[in-house]
Amino acid sequence: MKIELSERFRSFKPFLFEELYRKERAERARGKDIISLAVGDPDIPTAPEIVACAVNEVRKGANHRYPNTKGNENLRTEISAWHKRRHGLNFHHNDEVSILIGSKEGIAHLPFVVLNEGDYCLIPDPTYPTYRTGVVLSGGRIHDVPLEEKNGFLPDLGKIPQKIVDRTKLFFLNYPNNPTGAGATLEYYRDLVKWARKNNVIIAQDAAYCEIYFDKPAPSILEVPGARDVAVEFYSSSKTYCMAGWRIGWVVGNSRLVCALNQLKENIDSGPFNAIQNAVALALKHHERLVPPIREKFKARAEKFCKGLTEAGWKFTKPGGSCFIWAKPPVKRSSIDAVYFMLEKASVLTAPGSGFGKYGEGYVRFSLTEPDKKLDETLRRLKSLDWGN
């Protein structure tokens, strides 16, 4: 029998960086000392007290039973308390907070509870690719919204064609932004919420990098009065506490959306291991002590890397947060040519901007999630790289 996969599934292309990783493996096989700054996977270990808490929780028999899909009360209560301290916002832990198996999981599932066949979802370009996943699988349509450097990598709402807006139900955004490192101000969010309310568009703001800010604390869109009528926000423990492998995220905001997403998930998964949820609850409780050293580390890396890149002739806007530098090489090259050139001539692997969307063409993304020594060595290699003309 010939196995026929679904049309929707077939519309997914193989992972974009696969060919790049194949080249990287080939270079390594030739004995090259490759430094990979292609993915954003923090090198900093999870704090020992979080690990110790998890070990203790694993031993408890009660945690060996099924968890509750929306997350255990201990974690949801700590999340509510944290948002109160951090943003001055009250979220009821029962219907305005739901735990996710990493924020990526909730991001991929949200379109299923919002979109009907043919409804539009606005997605930034360049983008974190998972925003597209749920839209494609639920039969929605995608309209790409450019993030241009001249606009601070923020969507120009006035430029989105009204005939698309009229058919749009959902808009994914992400600040501090991957891949550009840009931030959004509360003023921008105010305009966005006003626009969303006027046009009946649901906003899904992805705050995965909200604690990796370099200047002022990144605001929550939900701080805007009335935002809760139209918006949810996704959070992640992956970068905030360097817990990417533990897989915990959460969604807060509009209760109808939070509860609908939870109801869908009740039919798909049974939530993350309670032992891990309790470890994240501890992380949130001690957030103000645990997070500043992580933030400072990424800030110091960003400052040093920006200085080095400037000396190596690269052009970029300094990031306001995240663990990425989004930059153009000293000589005009397509993203993919620049990435292959650096891999072959300097044994440095980076992510091609064009892989994040057409407006990423010409850029390269450096991820600062490798130890300082490797970042220093990267800069040394880039400074001695001759790009020709």
Rounded CA separation 389/382 (Å)? 16
Give the binding range for ligand PLP (CB under 6 A) out of 99-107, 117-125, 362-370, 373-381: 99-107
What is the size of the binding site for ligand PLP (CB under 6 A)? 13
Does the protein bind ligand PLP through residue 233 (CB under 6 A)? Answer: no
Closest residue (Cβ) to ligand PLP?
Answer: 102
Does the protein bind ligand PLP through residue 208 (CB under 6 A)? Answer: yes
Rounded CA separation 254/232 (Å)? 6
Given the complex with ligand PLP, which of 99 and 346 has the nearer CB atom? Answer: 99
Given the complex with ligand PLP, which of 204 and 343 has the nearer CB atom? Answer: 204
Alpha helices in the chain (DSSP H): 7-10, 18-29, 48-58, 73-87, 103-114, 130-137, 162-165, 186-199, 237-240, 255-266, 274-285, 287-311, 335-346, 372-383
Does the protein bind ligand PLP through residue 305 (CB under 6 A)? Answer: no
Q: How would DSSP label each residue in 224-262? A: STTGGGTEEEEEEHHHHTT-GGG--EEEEE-HHHHHHHH
Give the binding range for ligand PLP (CB under 6 A) out of 101-109, 154-162, 195-203, 374-382: 101-109
Minimum CB separation of residue 248 from ligand PLP in Å reads 7
Minimum CB separation of residue 238 from ligand PLP in Å reads 3
Given the complex with ligand PLP, which of 242 and 379 has the nearer CB atom? Answer: 242
Minimum CB separation of residue 236 from ligand PLP in Å reads 3
Footprint (CB under 6 A) of ligand PLP, residues 148-177: 174
Give the binding range for ligand PLP (CB under 6 A) out of 236-244, 272-280, 329-337, 364-372: 236-244
Given the complex with ligand PLP, which of 175 and 188 has the nearer CB atom? Answer: 175
Give the binding range for ligand PLP (CB under 6 A) out of 4-12, 100-108, 161-169, 252-260: 100-108
Please answer whether residues 251 and 100 qualify as being in contact, where contact means their C-beta atoms are separated by less than 8 angstroms.
yes
Rounded to 10°, the helix 274-285/287-311 angle is 80
Does the protein bind ligand PLP through residue 69 (CB under 6 A)? Answer: no
Minimum CB separation of residue 325 from ligand PLP in Å reads 14
Rounded CA separation 163/178 (Å)? 28
Closest C-alpha to 111, from 222, 255, 264, 7: 264
User: Which burial class, exposed, middle or buried, applies to 37 when counting CB atoms under 10 A from its CB (0-12, 13-18, 19+)?
Assistant: buried
For residue 349, report the phi and psi dihedrals to the nearest 5 degrees: -100, 130
Rounded CA separation 369/38 (Å)? 9
Minimum CB separation of residue 40 from ligand PLP in Å reads 5
Given the complex with ligand PLP, which of 176 and 308 has the nearer CB atom? Answer: 176
Does the protein bind ligand PLP through residue 102 (CB under 6 A)? Answer: yes
Rounded CA separation 248/237 (Å)? 6
| Secondary-structure breakdown of the chain: helix, strand, coil percentages, each rounded to the nearest 5 | 45, 15, 40
Minimum CB separation of residue 331 from ligand PLP in Å reads 28
Quickly count: other Cβ atoms within 10 Å of residue 144's Cβ: 15
Given the complex with ligand PLP, which of 138 and 369 has the nearer CB atom? Answer: 369
Minimum CB separation of residue 280 from ligand PLP in Å reads 11
Does the protein bind ligand PLP through residue 103 (CB under 6 A)? Answer: yes
Q: Which residues bind ligand PLP (CB under 6 A)?
A: 40, 102-104, 128, 174, 178, 206, 208, 236, 238, 244, 249
